Amino acid sequence: MLRRYWSSHSNFQLRFCTYWSQMSVKHHSVSNYQAPEWAKDILRTPEKRVKLALLPTPIHKWRLDGLPKDVELFIKRDDMTGSTLSGNKVRKLEFILGDALSRGCKSVITCGSIQSNHCRATAVAARELGLDSYLLLRNKSSSLTCFDNLGNLLPSMLCGSQIYFIPKNSKYETTIKPKQKQLAREIEEKTGNPACCIPVGGSNSIGVFGYIEAWKEMEHQNVCTDFDDVVIACGSGGSIAGLAIGNYLTGQKIKLHAVSVCDDKYFFHEHVNQMLNELGISGAQSEDLVDIIDGYKGEGYGLTTKQDHEFLHNIASTTGILCDPVYTGKAVKGMITELNNTPGRFKGNRVLYIHTGGVFGLFDSTINSKLERKYSNGNMFSWFNDFPEKIA
């Protein structure tokens, strides 16, 4: 039907193609990048940027259960940076892929867990830009045993990514990075074009500018005057590094908190300090810029319990905000717990939570049993006849 309509309405087709072409050029063209004035002395500032995200993301009040009565909580919706590109990773990819395109790369190679938001966003963004993507995914098995409930894998596969499963406990520096380099050499030998290797989470000295620019955006949204504290999930450290740099260089007094969902505070402080060093920012260290909150990764990275699922369902059913089981759900739990049990670690009671996305992770089936229990107890009805009947 759509094909018949398309072919029989040539004027519509022409207008649509012209409009989409104009929008695509505007949205996806590589442009020269100029850092904010307060960041002009940073070393190794990216030269290029490609527009991918829908910015700025909104900020609104969040009526979340379990908060102390005197706390005013707001949420910045970085889960709304796009549909398939939703989440914080696309901010980093604007700079990483802008750099890759300027260097003539025709493909990108990145890595993460099997439900990596970063890998999904990279696969989608790469395909939008005409690049091939290669994903090294940590997995329990050397193959994919089931094609049901794919979660983040579904968009990646639909976009034609070439996927390599690697052992779940693979370390980036010793195992994954060498494999990326090996694959990049093979691609260049085969195609004659360089491949761009992207680290876990896109967290490098180029990707960090995604959240340096996010800080500039937040300044324009009056975050620095309207809030005392900012809270964000921390899985690779790139987003909190960008925020810390922005907060420091602008001389603002916001207190930054990052809830770790893997590793520990020492790992993330080391990463932020590495970014400060690589960018030539002296006189500051991560330990003075960021409060890394440990203790909320539960049974481990990407592992969830029935209680976690109850928590996520309660957030969605009371506020309409979907949090994922790997990142945002654990970060929100950590924020609420710390606000109640250790209020002294916060500067004030005006708190902004940055929602970094991850909705596709909810479709990996781990929460399905929770929903099945709820909807098997009288929350689903059959109304095929005159009166609704509960479905047992």
Would you name the residues annotated as active-site residues?
A: 116
Q: What's the start-to-end Cα distance of the chain, in Å?
A: 39
Task: Select from 233, 225, 318, 237 the least CA-distant residue to 273.
Answer: 237
DSSP 288-344: HHEEEE-S-STTSTT---HHHHHHHHHHHHHH-----TTTHHHHHHHHHHHHHH-GG
Contact 382, 391 (CB under 8 A): yes
- What CA–CA distance (Å, rounded) separates 291 from 297? 16
Contact 131, 82 (CB under 8 A): no
- What CA–CA distance (Å, rounded) separates 36 from 133? 31
Please give the distance of CA 164 from its chain centroid, rounded to a whole number. 21
